Amino acid sequence: MHHEKGAKMVTDEEVLLHGFSDEDRRSFLAMGKELHFEADDVIIEESVPGASLHVILEGDVSVWKRNVKLATLSKGAVVGELVIFRQHPRSATVRADGSVRTLMFEKSDIMAYFRWRDERLFKILVINVIYVLSRKLAKASERTMQLENRLQSEQQKGPSWAHTSIS
């Protein structure tokens, strides 16, 4: 899973299915339902219970929490992956920034997929989802640190009106 600087960035989709055989990867992806969204369409709505996850196939989406934009995600990103563990109210809204295609997987289909397969394959998926979540947490922490540094820098400078001199 580790990649060097300058190397190709590994997508969430690649992480999600890491360790799957080619056959298992193909059959898992085949159970997804392709959906199309246009600009500003809501893909996932904050606080609404969810039962699916999406892999972005094409386009960009924005992640919003209480009208604050948290991130922009592109092809290969996975959203709604917590559904693997439990159905829950969504923690954020995901909205299409333009024309977007996703591959949507219902939790019930995911569970049915693994029912007749080696238990080890489901364990691999769970570990991969945890890895996807840890990558998102690391990005969020980095963004929080950047914002905190910017805020501290602005506080040290003082308000912009304080820097103007009166002659």
Tens-digit pLDDT profile for residues 105-130: 999 999 999 998 999 999 999 999 99
- Tell me what the mean pLDDT of segment 43-53 comes to: 92
Note the pTM of the prediction, 2 decimals.
Answer: 0.78
**pLDDT band at residue 2 using 50, 70 and 90 as cut-offs:** very low
Which residues, listed in sequence order, are joined to residue 17 by a DSSP beta bridge?
none
Distance CA 57, CA 80 (A): 15
Q: Which helix (H) or strand (E) holds 131?
A: helix 119-157
Mean residue pLDDT across the chain: 86
Length of the chain: 167
- Tell me what the mean pLDDT of segment 15-30 comes to: 93
Where along the chain do its domains lie? Answer: 12-154
Which residues, listed in sequence order, are joined to residue 68 by a DSSP beta bridge?
65
What is the number of helices (H) and of strands (E) in the chain?
4, 10
Return the CATH architecture of domain 12-154.
Sandwich (2.60)
User: What is the reported pLDDT for 163?
Assistant: 55
- Tell me what the mean pLDDT of segment 35-64 comes to: 94
